[in-house]
Structure 1
Amino acid sequence: MSVIKVAILGFGTVGEGVYRTIHSHQEELTAVLGKEVEVAAILIKNKNKEREISNAILVTDSFDEILQLPQLDVVVEAIVGKEPAVSYLKKAINSGCHIITANKEMFAHHGKELLKLAEDNNVSVGFEATVAGGIPVIQTLRQLLKINRVHQIQGILNGTSNFILTEMREKKQSFTEALLLAQENGFAEADPTNDVEGFDAFYKTMILSRIAFGEEPNWKDVELEGITTITSELIETAEKLGLRFKHIASISKEGSQINAIIKPTLVDKSHPFYHVEGVQNAVNIQSDIVGGITLQGPGAGMFPTASAVIEDLVFVCQNDTNNKISRPVANSFGEKKTELKEYWLVHGLTKKYLNTTVSFIQDVSDETYIINGTKNNVEQIFSLHKPLCYFPIIGEFKTLINA
């Protein structure tokens, strides 16, 4: 029986998880692929560090040494940062290897380039692990886009932020206390900026946009806000209204325009994200035929991410060429719709600053209340008066004034 030889770049949480999963699921992989899967090499930084790796495997700090192997079929990249990851993957593609990556920052910046290079070299690219850990959102989109027209994707795409917001609500902790607990549990890095300021979710959103719509919005036009403005008082206020804070990334297309927003949002009990807690991720896909689909599961960790990589391993080995996704044409979603009015929770601005373009709905607490208006109307008011914060409310929200 022939063998599929794999190199793993990086032996941190993801890399080790992939290595262990290949060994523990060898029987299943062989049944699906008709070939054994063998880890031929592992790229590490420190060759002197003790690791539980078979002596039969090449362990090296030189990627060029890996490329010199007599047979290499797939390169799995599980390191951090744009470089040297993208340079390694370009070399792998040019050497005729399929590639798989779990690196969302690198793939958000260089994915289009890598996909084109892979197409030119008749190899495949797997990147399921770049978005939402073990949730098979990219494979689901690949399947849906054969016929369905996706018009909106919403997601809780960062487990660290979701964990912090959950701890703040359930345990009445401050942001600082919840962040420290996330770091102690290994859910947040020593420098948590990418997670709590929304950059991690931003990279994942750009990848999803490329899959769903074939292109991305201008990065500078994306509304990006992290969770650092969320206080215990705001969470308590929301809870009294039957609402929960979630950090939600939303990407949609109307006509030829793609809109992306990544910010804290309030959801009510009718919304599928209301019960997504802790480090869980969730993705809701809205399309024209099937309607709404929600996927939920662990967004990070050794084996959830390894699961996505292993599924990609099957995908790339079963596709001789880079799998092209059928995408809707630019105008298939109709003309840009009239902007609808939404409910908003506003904090830090007195009622005297409101104007007739928005409707005052309900007092919640001192300088905190609910209004109704379009996003454009609300932003125009707040750009002049600089409130502390304001948040959209999504779901079938029913105000207490009508109770």
Structure 2
Amino acid sequence: MSVIKVAILGFGTVGEGVYRTIQSHEEELASVLGKKVEVAAVLIRNKEKDRNINEDVLVTTDFKEILCLPQLDVVVEAIVGKEPPLTFLKKAIERGCHIITANKEMFAHHGKELLKLAQENKVSVGFEATVAGGIPVIQTLGQLLKINRVQQVQGILNGTSNFILTEMREKKQSFAQALLQAQKNGFAEADPTNDVEGFDAFYKTMILSRIAFGEEPNWQDVEREGITSVTRDLIDAAEKLGLRFKHVASINREGGQITGSVQPVLVGKEHPFYHVEGVENAVNVHSDIVGRITLQGPGAGMFPTASAIIEDLVYVCQNHYHDRSFKQMAAVPIEQKKGQISETWLVHGLTKTKINPLITWLDQASVDTFIIRAEKKDVVELANQQEDLVYFPFLGEYQSAIKLKPKALSAL
């Protein structure tokens, strides 16, 4: 039986997961591909660290040694940061190797460049693992886009943030306590900035935008907010109203305009994200024919991400070469909305002296925490007037869990 030779760049959580999965699923891979899959080399950073890697595998700190192997078919990259991963993958493509990456930051910045180079060299690029862990959202969007016109993609794309919000609500922990638990469990890095400030979800959102629409919004125009502003008190107040905080990335297309946001939002029990807990991820896709579909699954950890990479391994080997570049989609004809649109918000820190007559009061969770309906510009104006005021949008149609009496509403 002929052999497919694979090199793994990086042997952290993801890289080791890929190595172990290739070993444990050797027969399944051979059955599907008609060839045996072997790990020929592993690129590491520290040669002194003990690793359980077979003796016949080249273990090196020098990528040039990997490029010099007599046979090399696929390079799997599982390192963090934009460089040197970008350089490694470009050299692998130029040698004629298919590439697979789990590096969302690098791919968000340089995905177009890698896809163009791969097209020129007649090799394939697998990048399923850059978004939503083990959920096959990229392949699903690829299938939808054959006929369906995607109008909106929303997702819980960062398992670390979702875990922290879940711990804060279920175990009544502070943000700091929940973050520490995430780090102890291996869900958060020593420096959690990329996760809790929304950068990780932002990079994934830009990749999804390219898949769904063939292009992305101007990065500077995308509102990016992490979860550090969400306190235990806010979570408790929301829970009284039957609501939960989720960190949601959203990308929308209306006519020829693409808009995006990455921010904490509130969802009710009717929303598909309400029960997405812990390190789970979920993606909701709205298109013109099928309507709304939701994909949900593990978004972090060794084997969920390894699963996405292994599926990409099968994909690139079976297709040999397939143009997977981002396609420009035809604009969906949508009637343009005139003026501003009223939305539902949870607002905390509001005082009675700053009431705007354009606001509709819906519910009250505490002395200074309310659910209101208003145009965003009016909420922003309130926040500008009151330094301590924070506000969060609500997804979907709000249904009150607490029925306020007319007198109580009028007293607001």
Shorter-chain TM-score range? over 0.9
Q: C-alpha displacement at 1:255, in angstroms?
A: 1.2
Over the aligned positions, Cα root-mean-square deviation in angstroms equals: 1.6
Cα-to-partner distance string for 1:81-138 (whole Å, 9 max, x where unaligned): 1110000000001111100000111111111111111111111100000111101111
Which amino acid in the other structure matches residue 348 of structure 1?
G
Q: C-alpha displacement at 1:320, in angstroms?
A: 2.9
Which amino acid in the other structure matches residue 66 of structure 1?
I
Which amino acid in the other structure matches residue 360 of structure 1?
W
Counterpart-to-counterpart distance in 2, 1:154 and 1:368: 26
Relative to the length of structure 1, the TM-score reads: 0.96
Q: How does 1:180-195 map to 2 (within 5 A)?
A: 180-195=180-195
Q: C-alpha displacement at 1:402, in angstroms?
A: 6.6
Cα distance change, pair 230–331 in 1 and its aligned pair in 2 (3 A): same
Q: Do the aligned residues in 2 keep the contact of 1:279 with 1:300 (CA within 8 Å)?
A: yes
Counterpart-to-counterpart distance in 1, 2:322 and 2:300: 26
Cross-structure match for 1:235: 235
Q: C-alpha displacement at 1:141, in angstroms?
A: 0.6
Structure 1 runs not aligned, ≥5 long: none
Cross-structure match for 2:112: 112
Cα-to-partner distance string for 1:326-345 (whole Å, 9 max, x where unaligned): 84644324243345322111
Which amino acid in the other structure matches residue 54 of structure 2?
S
Counterpart-to-counterpart distance in 1, 2:299 and 2:186: 13
Q: How does 1:146-225 map to 2 (within 5 A)?
A: 146-225=146-225
Cross-structure match for 2:280: 280
Q: How does 1:250-399 map to 2 (within 5 A)?
A: 250-324=250-324, 327=327, 329-338=329-338, 339-399=340-400
Cα-to-partner distance string for 1:279-309 (whole Å, 9 max, x where unaligned): 1111111111111111111101111000000
Counterpart-to-counterpart distance in 1, 2:388 and 2:342: 20
Relative to the length of structure 2, the TM-score reads: 0.94
Q: Do the aligned residues in 2 keep the contact of 1:132 with 1:157 (CA within 8 Å)?
A: yes
Question: Please, which moves more after superposition, 361-370 or 140-149?
Answer: 361-370
Structure 1 counterpart SS, 2:210? helix
Which amino acid in the other structure matches residue 349 of structure 1?
L
Structure 2 counterpart SS, 1:148? coil
Q: How does 1:63-82 map to 2 (within 5 A)?
A: 63-82=63-82
Counterpart-to-counterpart distance in 2, 1:342 and 1:351: 20
Structure 2 counterpart SS, 1:215? coil
Query: Does 2:135 match 1:132?
Result: no
Question: Please, which moves more after superposition, 246-255 or 361-370?
Answer: 361-370
Which amino acid in the other structure matches residue 20 of structure 2?
R
Q: Percent identity?
A: 70
Q: Do the aligned residues in 2 keep the contact of 1:8 with 1:39 (CA within 8 Å)?
A: yes
Cα-to-partner distance string for 1:186-217 (whole Å, 9 max, x where unaligned): 11111111111111111111110111011111
Aligned residues: 403
Cross-structure match for 1:121: 121
Structure 2 runs not aligned, ≥5 long: 406-412
Which amino acid in the other structure matches residue 55 of structure 1?
E
Question: Please, which moves more after superposition, 245-254 or 43-52?
Answer: 43-52
Cα-to-partner distance string for 1:203-248 (whole Å, 9 max, x where unaligned): 1111101110111111111101111111111111000000000011
